[in-house]
Amino acid sequence: MVIPATLAAGTWQTHFRAKPEDLLKVPHCLTVEQAAVFSVNPGTAYRMLSDFCELKPGDVVLQNGSNSAVGIYLVISQLFRFCIQCSSMAPVDRYLASRIFLFVVNLFRERTTSQGTEDMRSTLLSYGATWALTETELTNKENPISKEIREAGPIKLALNCLGGKPAVTQLKFLGESGTLVTYGAMTRSPMPLPAGPMIFRDIRLRGFWMSGWIRRESRSKRQAMLNHLAEWFARGLIRSSPSIFLPLDEWKQAIAMSTFSDQLPGTIKEKVILTMD
């Protein structure tokens, strides 16, 4: 199997002609489901954990939109950077290392019912989240989970897929010289970020766009990332986020299922994969 090495390669057609240098190899160890998604959402999580600060075992990372595909991959693959540094470790040791690598604070929106909120919390915890809570719970100093997070140590990295006011909350919880990385704007609102944290706490603001990274980086670096991801999928160190297969002629249903809405289900939204059998 191969995937295009460039963006907008023109694969939505019955036949596609390409030069070898325009393609990247997909390792045979991957399932079709894994191969369909592993270069985008897992790749985004991989890059954000690798490129913005030096994370060490025991460091704390904060993310919002934790039930998104990228959020789920970050929850279940907390060893990305550590695994690169410890590639010689035995698989069992590497798996154990993943369990102690990072503490991840996972924020999600409160559901319309208390049961829905608890269902979402349980789902995130089942995927391996260290903590799963709403923004209201995090900012409540009397909340026992919030207290535990504050005592865990300074937050070095915050990942923001929402934009808007949620970014301000993340900014407040970042430790000194922490980094806020924005990779989405689901609230469709500007981020009203105060200057104080940047002046007095040396907070850094960064942005990330996977398509931009693909355009900038060399083919060899992209292939190396895919090889790492494929190995971890094959060894069971990370697993796929929820997905569903639909035949191509049901594309209208696929679009309807994939369209963002303000519905707040208590479970993780499935990614739709179109099949062309």
Residues 89-112: tens digit of each pLDDT: 444 333 334 444 678 899 999 988
User: What local confidence, expressed as pLDDT, does residue 80 receive?
Assistant: 45
CA dihedral 262, 110, 44, 273 (to 10 degrees): -50
User: What local confidence, expressed as pLDDT, does residue 202 receive?
Assistant: 96
Question: Dihedrals φ, ψ of 115, to 5°?
Answer: -65, -40
For residue 58, give the CATH number of its domain.
3.40.50.720
pTM of the shown model: 0.83
Task: Provide the domain count of the chain.
Answer: 1
More confident residue, 249 or 92: 249
8-state DSSP, 31: -
Element at 120 (helix H, strand E): helix 114-126
* pLDDT one-digit tens code per residue, 111-141: 888 998 999 999 888 877 889 999 999 999 9
pLDDT band at residue 260 using 50, 70 and 90 as cut-offs: low
Comparing C-alpha atoms, which of 37, 43, 103 is closest to residue 75? 103
Buried b (16+ CB within 10 A) or exposed e, 142-171: eeeebeebeeeeebbbbbbbbbeebbebbb
How many Å apart are CA 121 and CA 123, to the nearest integer?
A: 5
pLDDT at 13 over 70: yes
User: What local confidence, expressed as pLDDT, does residue 78 receive?
Assistant: 53
Mean per-residue pLDDT for 182-201? Answer: 91
* pLDDT one-digit tens code per residue, 71-95: 877 776 554 444 444 444 444 333 3
User: What local confidence, expressed as pLDDT, does residue 137 receive?
Assistant: 96
Range of the domain at 186: 2-275
* pLDDT one-digit tens code per residue, 233-242: 877 777 777 7
8-state DSSP, 4: E
55 phi-psi bin (left φ>0, alpha ψ -120 to 50, beta other): beta
8-state DSSP, 163: -
For the chain, the straight-line distance linking the first and the last C-alpha, in angstroms and rounded, comes to 16
User: What local confidence, expressed as pLDDT, does residue 94 receive?
Assistant: 39
pLDDT at 195 over 60: yes
Pair 266, 116: CB distance under 8 Å: yes
Classified as helix, coil or strand, 79 is coil
Distances 37 to 222, 239, 265 between C-alpha atoms, Å: 15, 11, 22
